[in-house]
């Protein structure tokens, strides 16, 4: 057997595999001999079928099968030994004159080679690292929400601006018949509010669905329809009042603090606000970190220039999936996935150059931490180590789940690496301003 590689250019190569009879004949003979021992052919005792008959019946099929096995094994071994960094998989070159009616064969494969490039993480960039702070307004709003969640419902004779009304919306033509509860001040405009303020149990109120609530999603919720239906709905509905009440906020006292923090860590309103601020900014940090990772990804893809074997990859995509694609479909798929492929190559280069590794022990510990956090939500604060190990083993035994957790852990490693090695512009913002700037 002889395997050779010829570079077409820096990104494409052809591998030629020449196979002669001596490379496969012993294996073919072994397989045919095994067939002979097991063959049940009328007129012959088992194991005594003439070899000529076995060869005539199975010889060519066995030879083709063994040549293909040898070809695949040899090609894979060659790629490993030559340390070829390829993209996609080798593509066989179609030979119109190929025939199995011989004992010597020559096969050719196209290779798409990974480009060589450098990643400059120290270069000048305009990436902003956001520090999201919890404003006094946000903290006060959360205190108010807590007081309302733990407050008492008081029944009212008639609806007020800040009261809850419960009743049934009806429109027979649009098949609407939905019991719902909402705040009077959730309504949009004084005209709608006036219709409800002063309403009593049993009153029937007619309103227009268009611009009924301040929030666009509220109408779909109270009418029990999809957002798409609610957006198009422009009709009248009746609302029959069934209950009117309001929430008396809970007192900010030790009883409430102990409900929120049974460990006794909060004893004053100031300490409660500090806890809210800490928890909120912890959650905000996760969003800020994800935004930073996305921004670095965009920056590295845009600033790291290299060519790809685009023609080869489009050809490979045509046959890579379960369904064969047309040339046009493959080109479209390549366009959609090119940026992701570029970042995978950049990520791999950074890992190699900076010896960033992911050990199984790290993944196991990360998985156990994830499981422990979930168990804590259900009251199990101190699970046994053996239990954690068993659950983590089962989780990582699921390939899809293992890949998801591995991706999350790698993202954390890259984020830490970028923060340590890249310079960013730091900007302190409120959560509202962060949303406006990042998701505008």
Helix orientation angle between 399-421 and 327-354, rounded to the nearest 10 degrees: 60
Cβ within 8 Å of residue 280, ≥6 positions away: 134, 138, 139, 142, 431
What's the CA gap between 122 and 437, in Å, rounded?
Answer: 25
What is the per-residue pLDDT across 227-275, written as a single tens digit (0 to 9) for each?
A: 999 999 999 999 999 999 999 999 999 999 999 998 899 999 999 999 9
pTM of structure: 0.76
pLDDT value at residue 56: 87
What's the CA gap between 367 and 395, in Å, rounded?
Answer: 8
Contact (CB, 8 A) for 429 and 131: yes
Q: With left for phi above 0 and alpha for psi between -120 and 50, is residue 285 left, alpha or beta?
A: alpha
* Interstrand relation of 12-19 and 86-92 (parallel, antiparallel or unpaired): unpaired
pLDDT value at residue 360: 94
For the cut 90, the answer to whether the pLDDT of residue 329 exceeds it is yes
What is the per-residue pLDDT across 413-422, written as a single tens digit (0 to 9) for each?
A: 999 999 999 9
pLDDT value at residue 181: 95
Only one residue has tokens 């329809």, namely 225
pLDDT value at residue 37: 82
Q: What is the mean pLDDT of residues 107-118?
A: 96
| Mean pLDDT score across all residues of the chain | 93
What is the per-residue pLDDT across 37-60, written as a single tens digit (0 to 9) for each?
A: 877 777 777 777 888 888 888 899
pLDDT value at residue 125: 75
For residue 240 the two structure tokens come to 């029959």
For the cut 90, the answer to whether the pLDDT of residue 81 exceeds it is yes
CA torsion, points 204, 206, 207, 209, in degrees to nearest 10? 100
What's the CA gap between 163 and 181, in Å, rounded?
Answer: 10
44 vs 367, more confident: 367
How many other CB atoms sit within 10 Å of the CB of residue 411? Answer: 15
For the cut 80, the answer to whether the pLDDT of residue 359 exceeds it is yes
Contact (CB, 8 A) for 272 and 265: no
What is the per-residue pLDDT across 369-384, written as a single tens digit (0 to 9) for each?
A: 999 988 888 878 788 9
pLDDT value at residue 184: 95
What's the CA gap between 162 and 142, in Å, rounded?
Answer: 17
For the cut 90, the answer to whether the pLDDT of residue 126 exceeds it is no
Contact (CB, 8 A) for 331 and 162: no
Task: State the pLDDT confidence band at 129, using cuts at 50, 70 and 90.
Answer: very high
Domains and CATH numbers, the chain: 2-113 (3.30.70.1050), 152-248 (3.10.50.30), 266-438 (1.10.3120)
What is the per-residue pLDDT across 193-225, written as a single tens digit (0 to 9) for each?
A: 999 999 999 999 999 999 999 988 899 999 999
439 vs 282, more confident: 282
Cβ within 8 Å of residue 337, ≥6 positions away: none
What's the CA gap between 375 and 378, in Å, rounded?
Answer: 5
What's the CA gap between 139 and 252, in Å, rounded?
Answer: 14
Q: What is the mean pLDDT of residues 326-343?
A: 95
For residue 278 the two structure tokens come to 């800490």
What's the CA gap between 367 and 416, in Å, rounded?
Answer: 19
For residue 125 the two structure tokens come to 């960039």
Our CA angle for 410, 415, 419, nearest 5°, is 150
What is the per-residue pLDDT across 150-189, written as a single tens digit (0 to 9) for each?
A: 999 999 999 999 899 999 999 999 999 999 999 999 999 9
pLDDT value at residue 289: 97
What's the CA gap between 241 and 182, in Å, rounded?
Answer: 11
pLDDT value at residue 356: 95
pLDDT value at residue 124: 76
Give the least confident one: 105-114, 128-137, 378-387: 378-387
Q: What is the mean pLDDT of residues 58-63?
A: 93
pLDDT value at residue 38: 78
Q: What is the mean pLDDT of residues 60-72?
A: 95
Q: What is the mean pLDDT of residues 314-333?
A: 93
Could you tell me which of 369, 367, 370, 351 has the C-alpha nearest to residue 418? 351
pLDDT value at residue 35: 84
For the cut 80, the answer to whether the pLDDT of residue 440 exceeds it is no
């Amino acid at each position: 057997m002889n395997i050779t590689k010829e570079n077409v250019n820096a990104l494409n190569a052809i591998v030629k595999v020449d196979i002669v009879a001596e490379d496969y004949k012993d294996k073919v003979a072994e397989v045919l001999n095994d067939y002979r021992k097991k063959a049940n052919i009328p007129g012959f005792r088992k194991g005594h079928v003439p070899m000529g008959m076995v060869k005539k019946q199975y010889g060519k099929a066995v030879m083709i099968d063994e040549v293909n096995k040898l070809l695949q094994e040899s090609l894979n071994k060659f790629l490993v030994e030559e340390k070829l960094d390829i993209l996609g998989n080798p593509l066989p070159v179609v030979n119109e004159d190929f025939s199995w009616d011989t004992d010597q064969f020559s096969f050719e494969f196209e290779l798409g080679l990974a480009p060589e490039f450098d990643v400059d993480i120290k270069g000048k960039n305009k990436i902003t690292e956001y520090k999201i702070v919890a404003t006094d307004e946000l903290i006060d709003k959360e205190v108010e929400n807590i007081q309302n969640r733990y407050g008492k419902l008081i029944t009212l004779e008639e609806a007020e601006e800040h009261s809850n009304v419960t009743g049934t919306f009806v429109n027979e033509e649009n098949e609407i018949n939905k019991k719902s509860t909402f705040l009077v001040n959730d309504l949009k405009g004084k005209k709608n509010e006036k219709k409800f303020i002063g309403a009593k149990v049993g009153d029937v109120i007619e309103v227009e669905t268009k611009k009924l609530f301040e929030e666009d999603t509220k109408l779909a919720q109270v009418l029990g329809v999809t957002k798409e239906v609610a957006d198009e709905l422009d009709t009248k509905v009746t609302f029959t009042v069934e209950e009117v009440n309001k929430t008396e906020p809970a007192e900010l006292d030790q009883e409430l603090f102990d409900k929120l923090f049974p460990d006794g860590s909060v004893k004053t309103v100031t300490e409660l606000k500090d806890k809210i601020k800490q928890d909120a900014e912890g959650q905000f940090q996760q969003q800020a970190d994800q935004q930073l990772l996305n921004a670095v990804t965009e920056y590295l893809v845009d600033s790291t220039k290299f060519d790809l074997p685009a023609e080869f990859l489009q050809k490979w995509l045509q046959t890579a999936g379960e369904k064969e694609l047309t040339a046009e479909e493959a080109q479209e798929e390549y366009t959609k996935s090119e940026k992701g492929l570029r970042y995978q190559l950049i990520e791999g280069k950074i890992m190699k150059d900076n010896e960033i590794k992911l050990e199984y022990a790290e993944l196991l510990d990360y998985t156990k931490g994830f499981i422990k956090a979930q168990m804590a939500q259900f009251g199990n604060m101190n699970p046994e180590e053996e239990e954690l190990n068993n659950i983590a083993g089962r989780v990582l035994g699921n390939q899809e789940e293992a890949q998801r957790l591995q991706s999350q852990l790698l993202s954390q490693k890259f984020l830490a690496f970028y923060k340590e090695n890249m310079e960013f512009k730091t900007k302190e913002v409120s959560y509202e301003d962060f949303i406006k700037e990042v998701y505008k």
